[in-house]
Amino acid sequence: MSSLVIVGAQWGDEGKGKVVDLFAAHSDIVVRYQGGNNAGHTLVVANERTVVHLIPAGVLHPQTTCVIGNGVVIDPGVLCGEIDALQARGYLKKPEQLKIDERAHLILPVHRALDIAREERLGVDKIGTTGRGIGPTYENKVARSGLRVIDMLDPEYFRTRVARLLDERNVVLHELYGWPPVELDAVCDEYAVYAERLRPYVTDTALYLTEQIVAGRRVLFEGAHGTMLDIDHGTYPFVTSSNTVAGAVGTGAGVAPRYVNRVLGISKAYTTRVGGGPFPTELDDEVGRKLRQSGDEFGSTTGRPRRCGWFDAVVVRHAARLSGMAGLAITKLDVLSGIAKLRIAVAYEHAGTRYERVPAGVRTFEGARPVYEELDGWNDSLSEARRFEDLPAAARRYISRIEELTATPVTLISVGAERDETILLRDPFLL
């Protein structure tokens, strides 16, 4: 029996897509268990870029079954579009390759409208959401007024529930934000088409997954976003609306903790963040701009330029502890080539207090000054390195220091976007 959870150790965009795609080759099933199409994984195979937002990054491997678990919020229009695009490129030929949980909640047009309207009203205080309706959908889920995939398959029931939801949400949308109300008929007509398109894929994936794990299949759980965007453990309120830590597999995929046995964290060799909120090691200088340019740091969902900064060991240590990471994959080490001196934040200082951990208060975190350690950089290009020994001594030292500061062994290093631009130090399923 073997399962592996892949979790982002920073603010998302750590390069999970590439790592999931790599390990999907050795997995029978790849599962999304939280978030929605606010996530985006860029996969590069033979110079061809594929971006997926909802379908697990294992989809490029025809032998791998992809599961969208109950904890995901699904925009069915986006999902249908993704299925079409993948099928047009020769992927996802058989319906058995994709399974969608019947209990997953649906993003409705009113959720997208509310997300954007609310952000507009917040102005400079906005969270910087992706505008995909994620937060409002989870709100309705918790308020017990949301719509689920299974409801969409029963048009009569769907209509009654959407009418009830719109009764309330349209008031906020129209009266508070001044947006036109969403029409019930339009939603029902549109979603009836999605229902028939998606029906062949809908099933009880929690049951399926547990049976498969017990039968000895290798299951990879693909986390979206990053630990610092977790609704409980992230930089609240500048977070997403789901739990992103490994524990979310239990609820978001319906798989009991006893079947979740390994966690691999993914972190960039530096730090990035999109959207608002604290980011102590952010660089608004030449180095920051170099990281953005060399690392192609633009959001794969919204295209927004990402904020860039030094590696923050406090953040990654926080993430490693919360998810019980047995190993770390360090991505984009190649992007650091050519920077003479590198810095790593080892603690913060705020109002005379030293913090070795992430402060809970957003104002404390915003005002926190990083305590840096400086390390030598390297000039050599790393893209040809395939073994740890191929790396320059300064790069090896940088990796070792990350291991010490996060108390987590580095098990994989990525030195480029292609599958083979990878140094694998240990099989993640054997962590």
Catalytically active residues are 13, 41
Question: How crowded is residue 32: how many other Cβ atoms within 10 Å of its Cβ?
Answer: 31
H/E segment holding residue 413: strand 410-414
CA distances from 2 to 115, 217, 258, 328 (A): 38, 7, 11, 18
Q: How far apart are the first and last CA of the chain?
A: 14
Distance CA 134, CA 115 (A): 8
Cα torsion 308, 280, 360, 300 to 10°: value is -10
CB 247 within 8 A of CB 29: no
CB 383 within 8 A of CB 415: yes
Interaction site with ligand IMP (CB under 6 A): 11-13, 38-40, 127-130, 132, 134-135, 224-225, 229, 238, 240-241, 274-275
Question: How crowded is residue 300: how many other Cβ atoms within 10 Å of its Cβ?
Answer: 18
DSSP string, 28-88: SEEEE-SB-TT--EEEEETTEEEEESSS-GGGGSTT-EEEE-TTBEE-HHHHHHHHHHHHH
389: number of CA atoms within 13 Å, CB side?
Answer: 0
CA distances from 15 to 35, 58, 87, 286, 429 (A): 16, 14, 24, 23, 19
CB 34 within 8 A of CB 292: no
CA-based nearest residue to 51, from 292, 299, 286: 299
325: number of CA atoms within 13 Å, CB side?
Answer: 30
